[in-house]
Amino acid sequence: MHDDQFDALVDDATHAVNNLIPDRLLDGLGDSGRSNLLFQINDVLTPILREVVDTAGDDSDNPTRASTIAGLLSELLETHAAKCDDGGAREEDRPPHVISEVHGTSANIDSIASCDIETGTQIYLVLDDGAAFRIAVEAVA
């Protein structure tokens, strides 16, 4: 793994951990507090991930991994949420991130994170109505 790839891995992991923390807890930190928290998470994850990468060896010949697909799905959810947040001139005009007309419910995404497990990758999705979901992404071939 090249240094740029490793740096990207650490950055992605840092933001995934940060995304597990509900916004209501982060709001009290302010900009400098949030930035400091990101640096602290990054500093803790760097040696852990370095050891994992060093023991795993080179995987450049492997096909697309479940973690890559989970990252894609997370980015799609984040992009969708951002588009909803940008819609409408006023906050009350903006559509919720998740709407179920059948069940008469709606909510906004509070946090998204993912982690690798033995069988693939799991995406954790927490909504502002208190609902939480675990989405499993597993390779089948």
Q: Say if residues 62 and 69 touch (Cβ distance below 8 Å).
A: no
Nearest CA to 18 out of 2, 3, 4, 33 is that of: 33
In degrees to the nearest 10, what's the CA dihedral of 124, 126, 131, 137?
-20
pLDDT score, position 136: 93
Q: Could you read off the pLDDT tens digit of each residue along the chain, which spans 141 residues?
A: 667 778 888 888 888 888 888 888 888 887 788 888 888 988 888 888 888 887 776 555 556 788 888 888 999 999 999 999 888 778 888 899 999 889 889 999 999 998 888 888 899 999 999 999 999 998 887
Place of tokens 């209501």: 24
Q: Which amino acid is at 10?
A: V
pLDDT score, position 1: 62
How many other β-carbons are positioned within 10 Å of the β-carbon of residue 10?
19
Cross-strand bridge partners of residue 37? none
Give the pTM.
Answer: 0.54
Question: What does the DSSP 8-state code read for residue 103?
Answer: T
The SS3 assignment for 21 reads coil
pLDDT score, position 58: 58
Q: Which two tokens stand for residue 102?
A: 């059948």
| Residue ranges of domains in the chain | 1-62, 65-141
Exposure b/e, 82-98, CB count within 10 A at least 16 = b: eebeeeeeeeeeeebbb
Angle between helices 3-20 and 30-56 (to 10 degrees): 130
